[in-house]
Chains A and B, each alone.
Chain A
Amino acid sequence: DQQVKQNSPSLSVQEGRISILNCDYTNSMFDYFLWYKKYPAEGPTFLISISSIKDKNEDGRFTVFLNKSAKHLSLHIVPSQPGDSAVYFCAASARGSQGNLIFGKGTKLSVKP
C-alpha cells in the first residue's frame, strides 16, 4: 500500500504561471517531508523540505505547504520556467525511522515557453 501518493503523473503549465504539485500521505508518523527534482539520466536533486511543526516553507520561487489534518502537501513554483521541466518526487521520513525516505511515484512537469 502506497504511503506517499502523487496522483497526477503529469502536469503542463505555461511559462510564467504557477505550477502546483500535490502529494498525499497516509502515515501519521511522517514528520519530515522533502521534494526532489529529477532530470532524465540524472539522480534526484534536493529542492526543498518542511518539518511537520511548520505549515509553510519558502525558498525563492519554491514554496511547500503542509496541511497535517488533511495529510496533504503541495509544492508551488512561481513563476514557472522552462528549466523547471522535470519529474518531481515527494518524499517523507517517519519519526523514529532510520531515515530512509518513502517516495511517491513522481509528477512530470512540463513548462511550455
Chain B
Amino acid sequence: GAGVSQSPSNKVTEKGKDVELRCDPISGHTALYWYRQSLGQGLEFLIYFQGNSAPDKSGLPSDRFSAERTGGSVSTLTIQRTQQEDSAVYLCASSQRGQVTQYFGPGTRLTVL
C-alpha cells in the first residue's frame, strides 16, 4: 500500500539505552509529524517537519529526544538514554502541503524496562 509505514512495530529496550524509530511518509507528502500516545492519554505532538524548513521541535519533552528527516522523506526519531516514562506508542503522520488532514502510520510500541 501507499500509506505511512513505521518500523519497528515493537521495540523493547533497557533503561539507559538509545533507540531509533523510523517513519516513511506517504509519497509526495511534504509535512511529517511525530506524536506519542501514552497509556490512557491522547496523542501528544512531538515534532513537525515541512519541506526544507526548520522543524518545529516545540513538543519534544526533553533534550534526549531528537528527530531528523533526510531528503524530505524518511524520518528517524531518536531517544537517547531511554527512561521508563518514555514507554508509549510513537506515531508518525504525514500530510500534503496546505492540507490539515494527517494520515497516520501504525505506530511503534516502545517498552522501556
Contacts and interface: CB of A to CB of B under 8 A. Distances in A.
Interface stretch (A54-62, A66-74, A75-83, A98-106): A98-106
Contact of A43 (B42, B45, B48, B105): B105
Nearest to A5: B42
Given A43-B106, A44-B91, A105-B41, A100 B101 contact: no
Contacts of A36: 104
Contacts of A106: 42
Contacts of B27: none
B61 to A, nearest CB: 15
A6 B41 CA distance: 11
Given A89-B42, A99-B31, A41 B59 contact: no
28 contacts: A4-B42, A36-B104, A41-B106, A42-B106, A43-B93, A43-B104, A43-B105, A44-B104, A45-B104, A46-B102, A46-B103, A49-B101, A91-B43, A93-B100, A98-B48, A98-B50, A99-B31, A99-B50, A99-B95, A99-B102, A100-B33, A100-B56, A102-B45, A103-B42, A103-B44, A104-B42, A105-B40, A106-B42
